[in-house]
Structure 1
């Protein structure tokens, strides 16, 4: 279907995007908070549209789409880490937070695959939003060691995700 879409067949392209949307919805619902799923899907579909000329029909479409989705997922995680966190009032009602719990659980299980120093550096800087210097002070490591742990940890996470992503 992707070959037909690359050749300009509009109907095939619409069907392809619909199928991709369904897969991306499942993919991102397991990995992101509910409020970020639609944005991630739209950004991924835009990236697919922009990069469709790079798809080689000799290879399966699933891994190509999964690689783009993984990159957009990492972008979303970076975006989430940069957002300031507002304090919530103590009397605020708690809604259904199952998806957030699942996302947190997935993140925790991924971080468990890393060396403790790498997981701590990623958690402090990329998830909780601390600066490199603040993370350095909290961990007792030099700023360059914190950066190295983040870099190596993210590379390891990327390899784990590549190896275990589930193309359905």
Structure 2
């Protein structure tokens, strides 16, 4: 994007104040780039987009206060600076805590093993039973939502869940009796 002349943004704002929507859209698009560069050099990357949005909202809300007889950039810089300070204050209120290097990370072996075993057990079921159990019991869909997704009636979903769980319980019981 080309760098604009110092008074071009002022002319665009004056045209926008006179009701020219195209000039206003162009101005906001160009200001977005300038504000992004402004905040990128002053804030952590995670805060740049929010600061840009807040500044654009402030510009929109204060557009009536711009005097076309005066330079635009100082007016813009004042708004950007105030929003930057507001963002710094908000960041200082956020509690952050650095985690120690020796923080224990939980072992996921049992969860992975359980998921693998469940996957194997589900393959022993009829497809309609496995799908009903997966949707309602594992993914949290309601019976009505599962019915809509599968084309099975609500009562058939319930029957398939009941029969599928009974079959899984019987398989698990047989495996534990065999050990």
TM-score by length of 1: 0.53
Q: How far has the Cα of 1:8 moved from its partner?
A: 1.3
| CA shift in 2, pair 1:91/1:4, >3 Å | farther
Point out which structure has higher relative CO (alpha carbons under 8 A, 6+ apart): 1
1:53 to 56, 64, 69: 64
Which residue of 1 is the match for residue 82 of structure 2?
A: 71
| CA shift in 2, pair 1:88/1:62, >3 Å | same
Is 1:84 equivalent to 2:101 in the alignment?
no
Runs of 4+ in 1 over 3 A off after TM superposition: none
Q: How far has the Cα of 1:91 moved from its partner?
A: 7.3
Q: How far has the Cα of 1:16 moved from its partner?
A: 0.1
Which residue of 2 is the match for residue 15 of structure 1?
A: 26
| CA shift in 2, pair 1:89/1:23, >3 Å | same
Q: How far has the Cα of 1:41 moved from its partner?
A: 0.4
In 2, the alpha carbon distance for the partners of 1:65 and 1:11 equals 19
Is 1:25 equivalent to 2:10 in the alignment?
no
- The correspondence of residues 18-167 of structure 1 with structure 2, limited to 5 A, is 18-90=29-101
Structure 2: stretches of 5+ with no match in the other structure: 1-11, 104-179
Q: How far has the Cα of 1:60 moved from its partner?
A: 1.2
Structure 1: stretches of 5+ with no match in the other structure: 93-168
In 2, the alpha carbon distance for the partners of 1:91 and 1:40 equals 35
Which residue of 1 is the match for residue 14 of structure 2?
A: 3
Q: Which has the larger radius of gyration?
A: 2
The number of residues matched between the two structures is: 92
Of 25-34 and 79-88, deviating more is: 79-88
In 1, the alpha carbon distance for the partners of 2:29 and 2:102 equals 41
User: Cα RMSD between the aligned structures?
Assistant: 1.5
Which residue of 2 is the match for residue 150 of structure 1?
A: none
In 2, the alpha carbon distance for the partners of 1:89 and 1:26 equals 34
